[in-house]
Structure 1
Amino acid sequence: MNDYEIWFACAKLSCNIKNKLINKFKNVQNIWYYSTHDEKCTYINEKIKNALLYAWNKENIKSIKDNIEKNNINVVTITDELYPKALKEYDDSPYMLFYKGDIDRLNKNKSVSIVGSRDCSSYGVNITNIICNDLSRNNINIISGMARGIDSIAHKKCIENNSYTCAILGSGIDVIYPRENKNIYDEIIKNGCVISQFPPGTKPYAYNFPIRNKIISGLSEVVVVIEGSEKSGTLITASSALEQGKDVIAVPGNVFSKQSKGTNKLIKDGAYIFTEMKDIYEILNMNYIKNSFNNNSKMTSIEDKVYNKINTTPIHFDEVLRLTNIDIKQLYEVLFELQLKDEIMCLSGNYYVRNNKTV
C-alpha cells in the first residue's frame, strides 16, 4: 500500500470511472502522472482531473495510513490477486477494500448472502438459524451486513458453528455499527472477515448502505431474503443482486405480517421461493444431502415432552408454552433443535407442526 493507492481510493469519482482509468493507464502512478503532468491527455477531462487533484491531501493520506497501521487494517486493491474474484466481474466494484480477517476464503468456497429485516420475528430468527446452520456445515461462506436483526442472527450462527462468515460494513472498517455488535465484530475476525470499501473513520451515513448492499450481493452466488417490509433496505440488496445477474430466493411469510410483505412481493415478482434447504442447493448446483446427525440423534426428555404436544395440526408457540410450562427461552431452543432433527417444522405466524416424513 502506498500514498498513490490511498489517494486514488479517496478520490471523489465513481467506481466505474476509477476502473476505466485503471484499465487505461494500468496503475495509479500513471494516472497521477497523466492527470498532473500531461496537459495533452484527452482521456482525463477537467472534471476528473479536478477530483484527482483535490484528493491529493497529504495530511489526509497520512492520517489514513496511520489509522491503518494503528488498527491492524489490511488493504487490497482490484488489481491484486487477493481481491475477491466475484467482485472483479463488475465495472462498478470499488478500487480498494479495507478488511480484517481472512478475505482469501471468499475466492475458494461458494458464498451465499443472507439479508433480512432488522425488526425480525421469531419465525425469521428460526428460519435464519436453520439455513445458516445447514450452509455452514457444508462449508458455504455466509455473507451479511452485521446490521441488527437477521444479519446479526446469521453471523452469530456461523460463530456458534465455528464456520466462515463475512460482514460488509456501511462505515469505515474501524467504525463498528451498531455499537452493540462489537462482540460479533471481534468474533467474526477470528474465523471470518469484515470488509468495508469506505476509508477508516467513515461514519455510518445512510447513503453508504445502498452502496454497501452491492458488495453483499456481488460477493455471493445467491441472495436469500428472510423477512423485510415493502420499504425495507433488504429489497435494495435484492434489487442489486438482480442487476448483477444473481439469483434471489425469498422466504414466504404471513400475508398479514409487515415483515413478510417485501419477501412475498419478491416472490410475486419472480424471485425463487424458499420452501426447504434443497431449494438453495439447487440454485448453487450442489447435491443436497440432509445432515445425518439430525435423523440419528435421539430426543432428550425435554424434547420428547415438547414433541408430544405437537402433531399434524399446526399449534401456536404460545399454546406449546402453556401446555409444557417450559421457560420461554428454553422452549425456543428445544423447538429449534427439533427442527434441526427434522422432527417438526416452523410455519408462518409462529405455528409448529410435525414433519410429515416419507420414506
Structure 2
Amino acid sequence: MSIYDLWFSRLKINLKDKIRLLKTHDSIENIWISVFKKNEFNSNKKIYEKFLNAWKLEELKKMYYYMKQNNINCINYYDSLYPQKLKNHDDAPGVLFFKGKFNLINNGLTVGIVGSRDCSLYGKNVAINIANDLARNNINVISGMARGIDSMAHKGALKEDGRTFAVLGCGVDVIYPKENADIYKQIQESGCVISEFEPKTKPFSWNFPLRNRIISGLSDLLIVVEAGEKSGSLITVNYALQQGVDVIAVPGSISSKFSKGTNELIKDGAYIFTKLQDIYSILGIKYEKSLNKKQNIEKKYNKIYSVLSDVPMHIDKIVEITNIDIKYLYELLFEMQVKKHVNCIDGSFYVKNQQLI
C-alpha cells in the first residue's frame, strides 16, 4: 500500500485510459513519475489537470493513516496477490481495497452467487444450500453482501466455516446494509471484503453496476438464484458473458416475479440448475456429497492431521492450508492434543505426535 496507489484510485479518467497506463508502465509509482517528473502528459491539459487534481498530498496522507488505523489495506494491478482472473479482462480495477484475508481468494475455485434483494423464501433456501455445499467442498463463495440472495449466500458459506468474499459498492469500512454488520465481521475472519472504491465512499447507486464486474471477474462460475426482469443481477450476468464466465440459473415458477429473469436466462441458453451436481459438472470436478456434522468434523480433523508432520507448523499456516476458521481450529487442535495426536510447541506451532508416526 502506498500514497501512489491512493492517487491512482482517485484519478477521474475513464477505465480504458487507466488500463492503458497500467499496461504501458511497470508500477503505479512510475506512472506518477511519467506524469510529474517526465512531464509526458503536459501537452494534454485536460488529462494533466485530472492527474493534478488527484494529487492532493495532505488528503492522501490522511487517508493513508486512516487506513493503517482501521486495518484497511490495498493492492494494485502489479501486486503478486492481484488475481490473474481480473488481469485477464480489460476492465480490471487498478487498485483494490480490502479488509480481511485477501490472499485466500487466489486459493482454489471461486463461485459467484447473485440474485435479487427482494427474493422469496425458496430463493433464500436455495442460496443457503448451494453456498453450504460449496463451502463443504472447499470452494470459495463470492457475492455482494446486499440484502436478499447475496446475504444468504454469505451466511450459507459461513455456516460451514467456508471462505467467502464480499465485493462492495462502497468503501470497505462502510457497512451496507446496516443489518449485515455481523456478516461483515464474520466474512473478514474467513475471507475478506473488497472494493475498488476508496474507504469512506458511500453506497451510491451507480457504484453497484461497476462492482458487479469484479464479482463475475473473480468467479469461475456465476450462479443466479433469483432475478426479476430488471434485476441488477442481470448486469452481473452480462459482465460474466463478456468475461467468458459460465452462468447457471435456478429455475422458478412461471408465475413468480422473482424468477422471470432467471427463467429468461435459461431460455436464452444459460445452464439450468436442477441439482447440486450440476455445479460440479460445469466446474469439471468430482462432486463430493455433503457430510453430516459428525462426518464433517472427522473430515476436518483428518485434514489437519494430514498437513502436519514432524516439522513444526505455525497456526497461521495451518489456517491457510486447511481453510478452517482459526477459532474452530484451536478447538480441534486442543482435542487432538488431549488425544495425544499432536503436540503444541511455543504456543503457536504444532507437530504430529512422534509416537503415532
TM-score w.r.t. structure 1 length?
A: 0.78
In the superposition, relative to structure 1, how do residues 126 and 88 fare at CA in structure 2: closer, same or farther (>3 Å)?
A: same
- Unaligned segments of structure 1, at least 5 residues: 298-359
SS at match of 1:253: coil
Q: Give 1:220's aligned residue.
A: 219
Which of 1 and 2 has greater Rg?
A: 1
Q: Please say if 1:22 is aligned against 2:53.
A: no
Residues 189/49 of structure 1: CA separation in 2 closer, same or farther (3 Å cut) = same
Q: How many residues align?
A: 295
Cα 1:264–1:36 shift into 2, 3 Å: same
Q: Please state how far the C-alpha of 1:85 moved relative to its aligned partner.
A: 2.0
Q: Is the 8 A contact 2:96 2:196 kept in 1?
A: yes
**1:59 aligned partner:** 58
Distance 2:42 2:132 in 1: 51
Alignment of 1:297-312 (within 5 A): none
Contact between 2:26 and 2:78, CA under 8 Å: does it hold in 1?
Answer: no
Contact 1:171 1:205 in 2 (8 A): yes
Q: Following TM superposition, by how much is the alpha carbon of 1:258 offset from its aligned partner in structure 2, in angstroms?
A: 0.4
Deviations 1:164-194 (A, max 9, x none): 1001100001111001111110111111111
Which consecutive residues of structure 2, in runs of 5 or more, have no partner in the other structure?
297-357
Question: Which amino acid letter does the alignment assign opposite residue 3 of structure 1?
Answer: I
The corresponding residue for 2:308 is none
> In the alignment, residue 107 of structure 1 is paired with which amino acid?
N
C-alpha separation in 2, matches of 1:187 and 1:42: 45
* Greater alpha carbon shift after TM alignment, 243-252 vs 51-60: 51-60
Within 2, Cα distance between the matches of 1:137 and 1:45?
54
C-alpha deviation, 1:43, in angstroms: 10
State the distance in 2 between where 1:24 and 1:120 align. Answer: 45
Task: Give the RMSD, CA atoms, in angstroms.
Answer: 1.9
What is the CA distance between 1:102 and its match in structure 2?
Answer: 1.2
Q: Distance in 1 between matches of 2:290 and 2:227?
A: 29
Correspondence list, 1:1-359, <5 A: 1-39=1-39, 41=40, 45-291=44-290, 293=292
In 2 relative to 1, CA 282–201 (structure 1 residues): closer, same or farther, beyond 3 Å? Answer: same
Provide, for residues 42-71 of structure 1, a one-character-per-residue CA deviation record: whole Å limited to 9, x for no partner.
798443322111111123212211220121
> Take 2:273 and 2:69, find their aligned partners in 1: how far apart are those partners?
44
Query: What is the TM-score with the length of structure 2 in the denominator?
Result: 0.79
1:242-285 C-alpha deviation (Å, 9 max, x unpaired): 11111110000001110000101111111111111111111111
Give a deviation string over 1:86-131, Cα, whole Å, max 9, x none: 1111121111111111111111110000001111111111211221
Query: Cα distance 1:44–1:175, how it changes in 2: closer, same or farther (>3 A)?
Result: farther
From the superposition, tell whether residues 44 and 224 of structure 1 become closer, same or farther in structure 2 (CA, over 3 Å).
farther
- Secondary structure (helix, strand or coil) at the match of 2:193 reads strand
| Aligned residues of 1:16 and 1:93 also touching (Cα < 8 A) | no
Deviation at 1:146, TM superposition (A): 0.3
- Output the CA distance in 1 between the equivalents of 2:250 and 2:287: 18
For residue 28 of structure 1, report the CA deviation from its aligned partner: 2.4
- CA distance, structure 2, for counterparts of residue 42 and residue 85 of structure 1: 29
Q: CA deviation at 1:144?
A: 0.4
Q: 1 CA distance for matches of 2:146 and 2:41?
A: 44
Describe the superposition over 1:295-334 as per-residue Cα deviations: whole angstroms up to 9, x where unpaired: x99xxxxxxxxxxxxxxxxxxxxxxxxxxxxxxxxxxxxx
From the superposition, tell whether residues 253 and 25 of structure 1 become closer, same or farther in structure 2 (CA, over 3 Å): same
